[in-house]
Structure 1
Amino acid sequence: MFAIVGAAGKVGTSTAMVLRQAGHPVRAIVRDVAKAGPLQAIGCEILQADLQYPDALTQAITGATAVQIIVPPIPTAQDIVDDMHTSINSLVEALSRAQPQLVVAISDYGAHVEQDIGMPSVFRNFEARLREVPIPRVILRSAEHMEGWAPLIPVAMATGTLPSLHHPLTARFPTISAHDLGIISADLLRRPNLTDGEQLVQAEGPRRYSANDVAMALGALIGKPIAAVELPRPAWQETLEKIASPSTASLLVDLYDAHNRGQVDAEPNAGEMRYGTTALIDALRPLIPAA
């Protein structure tokens, strides 16, 4: 039995689909059962548990051989760091009680950086807390998700420009489709040779892309030219607060400052590298609104 925490998300759904296609029983753990239809359709057992309630989480993962865990940020949280730390503490408590044979934890590129660089630093704490639990684990650090450009697609369609916090526009950065990350995680969940300790796996897509590459791909999909433009650094906080809480916006400002310094990357000479196969244009294609 494989348990997927946060199974209704893009990564979780992908992991569940791969495991079910291979004939494995999957327990899909979701916060909102209204979003569990696709998981139920492929034969998953559906259990409801909020990430911040360790009792419910413990019940949900008890009996599972291997568990995939993820800590998705909620952009509207008034104090996103405190919110994510509450979820991390809850997960650690639930794992300590349930004692599965293996945990695959989705982490973040840049989690190895010692200084505070925003979101990756939250995942650095996530990894540290997991090391307190005597369970074999795989830390799966992920590059930025290609699907993260989705909120800017309507802007690009309406204006012909794609605002970018990646500076300069020609700088190539690591990125991966959520679908590929789920495929990689499903393989790691079935890893037979991990009996104790920790393994680090770092995952990104088949090649690196720049903001200009994203604009070009969107233009090809939309059928009109799209130009990437650097969003001025002084405008970042105010612009991000239009779609997220001030605390989330601040965390993202720190993240993209670190991106532009080259710090949000794979840890050099560490662990195992995995590469997805999905090209950027194919990851963006399903995100384009139907005409």
Structure 2
Amino acid sequence: MFVIFGAAGNVGSATATALRRAGRAVRAVVRDEKRGASLAAIGCEIAVADLNDAASVARVIDGAHAVQMLCPVPHAHDAPAAAMRHMIDAGIAALRADPPPRVVALSDYGAQHPDGTGITTLFHYLETQLRGIDSQLTFLRAAEHMHNWARVLPVALAQGVLPSLHHPLTKLFPTVAAQDVGLLAAELLLDAKPAQVSPRVVSIESEQRVSALDVARTIGELAGRQVVAHEVPRGEWAAVLRRAGLSEQHARLITDLYDAHNAGRIDVDADLSERRFGATTLAQVLGALLPSEAGTAASVR
């Protein structure tokens, strides 16, 4: 049995689908049973779990041959770092009590750094805590997800301006499509060869690095209108993020993350990682997102 946490998300659903195509039994873990309908349709067993409760996590990993571990950032929480650490601790307690043969943990570029990287420090904490699990362990570190640009697509389409915290606008940074992360995760879960080292560290990004200027140009070409990238001044980041609905602590995690990003710290750990490259392009991801956003933009104009 392959247990996939966050199976209803972009990465998890890609992993679950790939495993089912390979003929493997999949237990798809979701927060709400309604979110598992599409996964049930492809033959997944649906399990509802509270990731904050070790007993709940222990129940869904019972009998697992392999587990794909995901600890999502609790965006709605006033203290997201403390909430995520609590979630990680609950999952680790369950895995320590009943370790499956194989664990693939979804992590981030920059997780090798213990501090100074905002949200990414939480993935460092996840990796650190997982090291005590008696399983064949793989950390799958992914670059910034291309889907993250969906958050500002309505503004870009409505106003022709793409706000960016990436400074300068010409800076190239690694990105990746969620489906490519999910497909690689499935490959790692299916890999029966004994690992030469544990934990094994695997990184994934797209074949081509991009800049904020590239993102704006791609949106403009897909939407058939001019879109200009705008470098949001550093002093305005916190206010912009608070207006977007983030708590003060969450906004600070984001600003610290992009300070580290702009300093070049959110990148592959070349000394430790096996590097993989996803084939999905930025244009393909944004092209899939644009139709649903175009109607929103049109109504705003």
Q: Which bin holds the TM-score, normalised by the shorter protein?
A: over 0.9
- Secondary structure at 1:57 match in 2: helix
Question: Counterpart amino acid of 2:259?
Answer: D
Q: Is 1:111 the equivalent of 2:111?
A: yes
Shift of 1:244: 1.7
- Kindly, what percent of the aligned residue pairs are identical? 43
Q: Is 1:214 the equivalent of 2:215?
A: yes
Q: Deviation per CA, 1:228-254, whole angstroms, max 9, x where unpaired? A: 010111111111112322211110000
Shift of 1:33: 1.3
Q: Which residue is 2:194 aligned to?
A: 194
Instruction: Answer whether contact 1:160 1:227 (CA < 8 A) is retained.
Output: yes
Q: Is 1:157 the equivalent of 2:172?
A: no
Question: Counterpart amino acid of 2:228?
Answer: A
- Secondary structure at 2:18 match in 1: helix
Distance (whole Å) between structure 1 residues aligned to residue 48 and residue 194 of structure 2: 29
Distance (whole Å) between structure 1 residues aligned to residue 65 and residue 134 of structure 2: 15
In the superposition, the TM-score normalised over structure 1's length comes to 0.97
Question: Counterpart amino acid of 2:257?
Answer: L
Q: Which runs of 4+ in 1 moved over 2 A?
A: 194-197
Q: Is 1:11 the equivalent of 2:50?
A: no
Distance (whole Å) between structure 2 residues aligned to residue 147 and residue 208 of structure 1: 15
Instruction: Answer whether contact 2:67 2:100 (CA < 8 A) is retained.
Output: yes
Q: Which residue is 1:279 aligned to?
A: 281
Q: Which residue is 1:248 aligned to?
A: 250
Shift of 1:271: 2.4
Q: Which residue is 1:232 aligned to?
A: 233
Q: Is 1:269 the equivalent of 2:271?
A: yes
In the superposition, the TM-score normalised over structure 2's length comes to 0.94
Q: Deviation per CA, 1:114-162, whole angstroms, max 9, x where unpaired? A: 4321111111111000011121100111100000010100000110000
Q: Kindly report the root-mean-square deviation, in angstroms, between the aligned alpha carbons of the 2 structures.
A: 1.2
Question: Counterpart amino acid of 2:217?
Answer: M
Distance (whole Å) between structure 1 residues aligned to residue 221 and residue 44 of structure 2: 37
Deviates more, 1:97-106 or 1:110-119: 110-119
Shift of 1:68: 0.1
Question: Counterpart amino acid of 2:246?
Answer: A
Deviates more, 1:195-204 or 1:52-61: 195-204
The total of aligned residue pairs comes to 291
Distance (whole Å) between structure 1 residues aligned to residue 172 and residue 152 of structure 2: 19
Distance (whole Å) between structure 1 residues aligned to residue 107 and residue 135 of structure 2: 17
Q: Which residue is 2:298 aligned to?
A: none
Distance (whole Å) between structure 2 residues aligned to residue 243 and residue 217 of structure 1: 27
Instruction: Answer whether contact 1:62 1:99 (CA < 8 A) is retained.
Output: no
Distance (whole Å) between structure 2 residues aligned to residue 114 and residue 26 of structure 1: 34
Distance (whole Å) between structure 2 residues aligned to residue 269 and residue 112 of structure 1: 11
Distance (whole Å) between structure 2 residues aligned to residue 185 and residue 119 of structure 1: 22
Gaps of 5+ in 1: none
Q: Which residue is 2:85 aligned to?
A: 85
Q: Which residue is 2:62 aligned to?
A: 62
Instruction: Answer whether contact 2:116 2:260 (CA < 8 A) is retained.
Output: no
Question: Counterpart amino acid of 1:263?
Answer: R
- Secondary structure at 2:260 match in 1: helix
Question: Counterpart amino acid of 1:161?
Answer: V
- Secondary structure at 1:275 match in 2: strand
Q: Is 1:174 the equivalent of 2:159?
A: no
Distance (whole Å) between structure 2 residues aligned to residue 135 and residue 50 of structure 1: 22
Distance (whole Å) between structure 2 residues aligned to residue 102 and residue 57 of structure 1: 16
Instruction: Answer whether contact 1:203 1:276 (CA < 8 A) is retained.
Output: yes
Shift of 1:74: 1.9
Q: Which residue is 1:100 aligned to?
A: 100
Distance (whole Å) between structure 2 residues aligned to residue 129 and residue 287 of structure 1: 35
Shift of 1:166: 0.3
Distance (whole Å) between structure 2 residues aligned to residue 100 and residue 213 of structure 1: 42
Gaps of 5+ in 2: 296-301
Q: Which residue is 2:130 aligned to?
A: 130
Instruction: Answer whether contact 1:167 1:230 (CA < 8 A) is retained.
Output: yes
Shift of 1:223: 1.2
Distance (whole Å) between structure 1 residues aligned to residue 49 and residue 178 of structure 2: 22
